């Protein structure tokens, strides 16, 4: 029996932006809504849901949805499924839009108009935004918007998402009451699917009448592609780009990181000086400030990494990189499409796993999800940065490279090699591994990324990270502080206070598991909250060491010199190896559960990563000890 679904959604008219992938839809959305947007998920699926609000000059308040890009209303991925469900009025958590704006790429009407015809058949009030009109003009494509409107029987406005003037025309159209009226003559058939052949002829006819049937060469994009897709230079360029990206993460972030570090240090001292000794002071200084501050310091690095990913994505380079890597990925049984989710996973596995939704093939998608956590996410950066800073000397090698940067590059590489190894095994030991699976990936024309889109993208990511610092990480820091400071040590204690606490006892039990791989009980304690979010391991270490220190002087010391003194190099290297494969945070496992629809895959994932991490750390530790670094 089907349960009735009660639909609850905010009041007010709903406007939906629909369009092919790469038509500049999101840029238009950013232009319309500015910063008045929120990113969430659609109910039941983790398709990114972008909703914004804006008011028209006449005072009309609108909700506006940026629907996932689709080539047709015949969905072949979960992303496209969402777009279809909303347009057909079948979405669980959203009403049918009151007005649909079809965003079309003016440089590519041939393909984009097909979706317009399909949407028009739905019988919803509909208008066309002829986007990227400036680029079309610079290529010599002049489109008569009025003639196109007459051919389609729909209002058409020219827009340039990166300029204000084009948007005004669109806003004016939205403000026209007639635009919201359902087309009377069109019968809503709901059958958007079986019109392909007819649509091709219809579009051909329209283009011929508008004098747009000639194929205009993409001179600039083609010229860039001669270099980017060059058999020898292309892969070389890709390597250089990725290498620069990782060097920049360390070099550029140094100054803002120092600033945040000294600011949290000053705040801790200030609080320490003005508060009476007691549990509250301990909570604030050792739990809250040391815990959250130790993670906040990595915000600059995360932003730099996302900056590069956003620029590469906006410019159109990412699909080219996927093309170049398709062969390599094919060798381990994946397609080039898996590259984009995996690259996103370098920032965080969660958006990476969510980006796997664009992979139509279910097997490719599952394998990509399973190996995505092996990509070094930015949450591991704090751990890497701490250990590299403490144990690897800052030295130049050959006058070109920095040793610390090279080690970091090596760690990233180890994660990639690990992922490839797992995928290779899956290819050879599963029946589906050897089939040929589809690619069909668009290589959009190159665009100069716009500052506004990059800024909005960065702001959204920073907000997500800060929210994590403010909620999960803060809560865990406080919980760990409690575990690490209760029960209180007896007055005649010989050992440091933490050894009497719950955390100390837990760490000592866990140390039995971790001792063979060279971890002391402090590390074992820190790994427990590290399961909730990896970067918490650093703040946990800060808390553990701040509380186990005998004097205030020792507390004041930064964490890095403390561990450099107390751990052997072998232990540090083993911990690095552990974190390459480390079982992912709980949020990732929750995402995997949601994406795969059950507990099987997240449990399999946790088990296999745990085993890999333990084995890798064991090998690293014992090799290092044998080489005399114990």
Partner 1 sequence: MPTPSQRQNETSLDQASIGEKLLVTRVRPSPIASEWDRWLGEIGFFPGERVELMAKAIPGGDPLVIRVGQSTFALRCAEAACIDVIPHETTAATQTQTLAMEGSGA
Q: Could you give the string, one character per residue 145-184, with x where binding to partner 1 holds by CB under 8 A and - elsewhere?
A: ----------------------------------------
Which one of residues 324, 386, 523, 525 is an interface residue with partner 1 (CB under 8 A)? Answer: 324
Instruction: Verify binding: residue 18, partner 1, rule CB under 8 A.
Output: no
Q: With b meaning 16 or more CB within 10 Å and e meaning fewer, what string describes 47-60?
A: bbbbbbbbeeeeee
Q: What is the closest distance, in whole angstroms, from the C-beta atom of residue 129 to partner 1 in the complex?
A: 18
Residue 89 or 330 with smaller CB distance to partner 1: 330
Q: Considering beta carbons, is residue 66 or 326 the nearer one to partner 1?
A: 326
What is the per-residue binding string for partner 1 in 56-75, x denoting contact by CB under 8 A? ---------------xx-x-
* DSSP string for residues in 101-121: EEEEEGGGHHHHHHHHHHHHT
Determine how many CB atoms are found less than 10 A away from the CB of residue 347.
24
The least distance separating partner 1 from the CB of residue 107, rounded to whole angstroms, comes to: 7
Q: Which lies closer to partner 1 via its Cβ, residue 322 or residue 528?
A: 322
Burial environment of residue 256 by CB neighbours within 10 A (0 to 12, 13 to 18, 19 or more): middle
431 binds partner 1 (CB under 8 A): no
Among 40, 43, 188, 216, binds partner 1 (CB under 8 A): 216
In whole angstroms, the minimum distance from the beta carbon of 127 to partner 1 comes to 22
CA–CA dist 67, 50 (Å, integer): 7
Q: Min. distance of Cβ 114 from partner 1 in angstroms?
A: 8
SS3 62: strand
Applying CB under 8 A, the span of 292-300, 341-349, 430-438, 588-596 interacting with partner 1 comes to: 430-438
Token pair, residue 57, equals 């000059």
Question: Could you tell me which residues come within 8 angstroms of residue 508 by beta carbon, excluding any fewer than 6 positions away?
Answer: 521, 524
- Which residue of 287, 444, 504, 507 would you call a contact of partner 1, by CB under 8 A? 444
> Binding residue for partner 1 (CB under 8 A) from 5, 6, 276, 440?
440
Q: What is the DSSP string of 124-136?
A: --EEEEEESHHHH
| The one segment of 101-109, 247-255, 364-372, 594-602 that binds partner 1 by CB under 8 A | 101-109
- 398: contact with partner 1 by CB under 8 A: no
The position carrying tokens 């393909």 is 111
Question: How far are the Cα atoms of 11, 26, 44, 48, 446 from residue 453, in angstroms, in the given order?
Answer: 28, 8, 28, 16, 15
**Cα 31 to the center of its chain, rounded Å:** 22
The verdict on 215 binding partner 1 (CB under 8 A) reads yes
Stretch that binds partner 1, among 28-36, 39-47, 212-220, 259-267 (CB under 8 A): 212-220
Q: Which is nearer to partner 1, 70 or 541 (CB)?
A: 70
Q: What is the DSSP letter of 148?
A: H
DSSP assignment string, 460-508: HHHHHHHHHIIIIIHHHHHHHHHHHH-SPPPTT-SS-GGGGSHHHHHHH
Structure tokens given for 538: 């650093």
What's the min distance (Å) between Cβ of 237 and partner 1? 14
Burial class of residue 276 in the structure, from the number of CB atoms within 10 Å of its CB (0-12 exposed, 13-18 middle, 19+ buried) = exposed
- Taking the least distance from each CB to partner 1, the nearer of 319 and 530 is 319
Using alpha carbons, select from 152, 130, 153 the residue that is nearest to residue 143. 130
**Would you count residue 223 as binding partner 1 (CB under 8 A)?**
no
Q: Half-sphere exposure (CA, 13 Å, Cβ side) for 70?
A: 27
Binding status of residue 323 toward partner 1 by CB under 8 A: yes
- Asked if 225 is part of the footprint of partner 1 (rule: CB under 8 A), the reply reads yes
Does 222 bind partner 1 (CB under 8 A)? Our answer is yes
Contacts of 626 (CB under 8 A, 6+ apart): none
Among residues 146 and 442, whose Cβ is nearest to partner 1?
Answer: 442
Return residues touching partner 1 (CB under 8 A): 71-72, 74, 76, 107-111, 114, 196-198, 200-201, 204, 215-216, 218, 221-222, 225, 229, 231-232, 319, 322-324, 326-327, 330, 336, 360, 435-445
């Amino acid at each position: 029996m089907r349960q009735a679904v009660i639909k609850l959604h905010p009041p007010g008219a709903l406007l939906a932006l629909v369009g092919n992938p790469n038509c500049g839809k999101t840029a238009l959305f950013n232009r319309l809504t500015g910063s008045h947007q929120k990113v969430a998920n659609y109910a039941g699926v983790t398709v990114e849901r972008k909703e914004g609000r804006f008011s028209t000059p006449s005072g009309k308040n609108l909700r506006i949805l940026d629907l996932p890009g689709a080539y047709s209303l015949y969905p072949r991925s979960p992303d496209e499924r969402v777009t279809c469900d909303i347009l057909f009025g079948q979405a669980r958590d959203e009403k049918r839009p009151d007005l649909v704006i079809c965003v079309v790429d003016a440089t590519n009407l041939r393909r984009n108009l097909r979706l317009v015809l399909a949407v028009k058949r739905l019988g919803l009030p509909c208008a066309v935004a002829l986007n990227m009109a400036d680029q079309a003009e610079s290529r010599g494509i002049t489109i008569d918007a009025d003639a196109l409107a007459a051919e389609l029987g729909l209002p058409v406005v020219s827009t340039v998402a990166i300029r204000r003037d084009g948007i005004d025309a669109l806003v004016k159209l939205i403000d026209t009451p007639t635009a919201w009226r359902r087309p009377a003559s069109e019968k809503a058939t709901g059958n958007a699917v079986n019109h392909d052949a007819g649509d091709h002829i219809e579009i051909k006819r329209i283009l011929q009448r508008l004098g747009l049937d000639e194929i205009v060469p993409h001179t600039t994009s083609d010229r860039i592609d001669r270099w980017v897709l060059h058999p020898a230079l292309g892969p070389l360029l890709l390597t250089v780009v990725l290498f620069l990206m990782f060097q920049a993460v360390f070099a550029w972030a140094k100054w803002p990181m120092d600033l945040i570090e000294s600011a949290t240090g000053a705040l801790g001292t200030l609080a320490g000086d003005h508060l009476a000794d007691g549990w509250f002071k301990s909570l604030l200084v050792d739990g809250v400030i040391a815990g959250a501050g130790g993670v906040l310091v990595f915000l600059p690095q995360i932003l730099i990494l996302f900056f590069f990913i956003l620029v590469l994505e906006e410019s159109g380079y990412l699909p080219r990189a996927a093309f170049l890597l398709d062969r390599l990925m094919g060798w381990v049984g994946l397609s080039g499409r898996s590259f984009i989710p995996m690259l996103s996973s370098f920032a965080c596995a969660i958006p990476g796993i969510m980006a796997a939704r664009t992979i139509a093939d279910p097997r490719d998608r599952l394998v990509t999800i399973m190996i995505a956590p092996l990509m070094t996410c930015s949450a591991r950066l704090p751990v890497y940065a701490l250990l590299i800073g403490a144990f690897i000397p800052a030295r130049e090698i050959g006058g070109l490279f920095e040793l610390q940067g090279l080690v970091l590059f090596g760690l990233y590489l180890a994660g990639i090699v690990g992922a490839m190894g797992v995928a290779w095994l899956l290819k050879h030991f599963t029946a589906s591994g050897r089939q040929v699976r589809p690619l069909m990936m668009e290589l959009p024309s190159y665009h100069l990324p716009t500052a506004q889109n990059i800024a909005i993208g960065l702001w959204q990511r920073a907000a997500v990270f800060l929210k994590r610092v403010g909620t999960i990480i803060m809560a865990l820091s406080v919980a760990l502080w409690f575990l690490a400071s209760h029960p209180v040590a007896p007055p005649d204690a010989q050992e440091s206070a933490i050894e009497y606490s719950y955390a100390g006892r837990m760490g000592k039990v866990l140390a039995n598991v971790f001792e063979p791989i060279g971890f002391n009980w402090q590390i074992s304690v820190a790994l427990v909250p590290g399961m909730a979010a990896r970067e918490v391991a650093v703040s946990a270490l800060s808390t553990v060491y701040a509380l186990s220190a005998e004097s205030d002087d020792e507390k004041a010391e930064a964490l890095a010199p403390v561990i450099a003194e107390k751990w052997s190099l072998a232990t540090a290297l083993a911990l690095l190896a552990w974190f390459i494969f480390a079982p992912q945070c709980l949020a990732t496992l929750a995402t995997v559960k949601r994406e795969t629809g059950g507990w099987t895959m997240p449990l399999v994932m946790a088990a296999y990563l745990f085993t890999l991490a333990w084995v890798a750390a064991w090998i690293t530790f014992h090799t290092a000890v044998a080489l005399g670094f114990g």
